Amino acid sequence: MLKAKVYVTIKQSVLDPQGVAVQGALHSMGFGEVESARIGKYMELTLDTTDRAEAEARVKTMCEKLLANTVVEDYRFELEG
Amino acid sequence: MKFAVLVFPGSNCDIDCYKAVEEVLGEPVDYVWHTATDLSAYDCILVPGGFSYGDYLRCGAISRFAPVMAEVAKAAEQGKYVLGICNGFQILTEAGLLPGTLLRNTSLKFLCHDVVLRVENNDNPFTVDYEQGEEITIPIAHGEGNYYCDEATLESLKANNQIIFTYASNPNGSLSNIAGISNERGNVVGMMPHPERAVNTLLGSEDGKRMFTSILKAWRDQHDAATIR
């Protein structure tokens, strides 16, 4: 069993309105040191395999095809187990 | 001319699309379920608005892999007309049938009101009945209608006249005020505003009517040359 932790974030070049709203909220709460906030997605996939290389290639394809929209999002993932 | 209105789990403008075709054109129209694997009987595919598959992950991300979408790609390839409205637009961009993507509105608000659109290109099967540069009133209803693409894509959209509608006043942060675009060939159009909700003055506007009459006119121009009636 392997676990893939997938992080999908909006590209730096693209405005993240949710992040801006959260930053504004933090500022109004007195956390003025927050220079920026970006909101992303975190996904955990449990994989029925022990082959790390194979899993890596498969998760990459999953990210490219479905989990991230590469027009506006970056992704990265970690394999555990 | 035969119309298909695709129905995904979560579509909620399918009935409006169906009724618009029925009321404005009186042409045959069918609901087609997302699991369908044959669209060969249809001349125009309408991909309606709503929240297909609950918009989980991203708008349109999951519906893009519904069995019927392979058939939509095939129909687009054959030059048939495909119109994606709102969630339908999001699905078509996810499917790669249209460039770019739709982001969260910059205001973070779900917007539901009439907007004024400018017809940027009336040389398209979906807009032949409008005047070039005409301003029309059509409602929007979306939380993620902020059109985005990279600079090179925007340049090519402009160079190929693929920008079909722009907002007179930008409601959602959309790049270059874009409200609707086509593919390079012009037979696939996606737009965030809802023409099917503007086909009768009882609905506040009938400016959406001419999108439907345009489709029929363009199709007849294309087909009747070879047909004796």
Q: At which residue do the structure tokens 């058939």 appear? A: B71
CB B124 within 8 A of CB B83: no
CA distance linking residue B170 with residue B145, whole number of Å: 11
B66-123, pLDDT tens digit by residue? 999 999 999 999 999 999 999 999 999 999 999 999 999 999 999 999 999 999 999 9
Q: Is B23 a catalytic residue?
A: no
Q: Which B positions 11-40 lie with beta carbon below 8 A of chain A?
A: none
Q: Is B196 a catalytic residue?
A: yes
Q: Which A positions 12-71 lie with beta carbon below 8 A of chain B?
A: 14-15, 17-18, 21, 41, 66-67, 69, 71
Mean pLDDT of chain B: 96
ipTM of this predicted structure: 0.86
State how many domains chain B has.
1
State how many domains chain A has.
1
Strands B3-7 and B29-33: parallel
CA angle B95, B73, B158 (to 5 degrees): 65
* Predicted local distance difference test score (pLDDT) of residue A19: 93
Q: At which residue do the structure tokens 């920026």 appear? A: A36
CB-nearest partner of B148 from A14, A41, A67: A14
Instruction: Spell out which residues of chain A touch residue B148, defining contact as CB-CB under 8 Å.
Output: 14, 71-72
CATH of the domain at B130: 3.40.50.880
* Predicted local distance difference test score (pLDDT) of residue A81: 87
CA distance linking residue A67 with residue A40, whole number of Å: 12
* Predicted local distance difference test score (pLDDT) of residue B223: 85
CB-nearest partner of B106 from A15, A66, A69: A15
A41-80, pLDDT tens digit by residue? 999 999 999 999 999 999 999 999 999 999 999 999 999 9
pLDDT exceeding 90 applies to what percent of chain B? 96
CB B59 within 8 A of CB B92: no
| Owning domain of residue B218 | 3-228
Q: Which two tokens stand for residue B196?
A: 């099917």
Residue B229 pLDDT greater than 60, yes or no = no
Count Cβ atoms below 10 Å from residue A78 Cβ, excluding itself: 10
Strand order in the sheet with B178-182: B29-33, B3-7, B44-47, B81-85, B188-191, B178-182, B163-167, B111-119, B135-142
Cβ of residue B181 closer than 8 Å to a chain A Cβ: no
Q: How many residues does chain B have?
A: 229
Read off the pTM.
0.93
Residue A4 Cα to chain centre, angstroms: 12
* Predicted local distance difference test score (pLDDT) of residue B161: 97
* Predicted local distance difference test score (pLDDT) of residue B227: 60
* Predicted local distance difference test score (pLDDT) of residue B225: 63
B116-166, pLDDT tens digit by residue? 999 999 999 999 999 999 999 999 999 999 999 999 999 999 999 999 999
Q: Average of pLDDT values for B42-56?
A: 96
CA distance linking residue B149 with residue B173, whole number of Å: 12
Residue B228 pLDDT greater than 90, yes or no = no
B23-34, pLDDT tens digit by residue? 999 999 999 999
CATH of the domain at A46: 3.30.1280.10
CB-nearest partner of A72 from B101, B107, B173: B101
Cβ of residue B105 closer than 8 Å to a chain A Cβ: yes
Distances (CA, A) of A69 to A4, B103, B163: 18, 11, 22
Confidence of residue B226 (pLDDT cuts 50, 70, 90): low
| Owning domain of residue A69 | 2-80
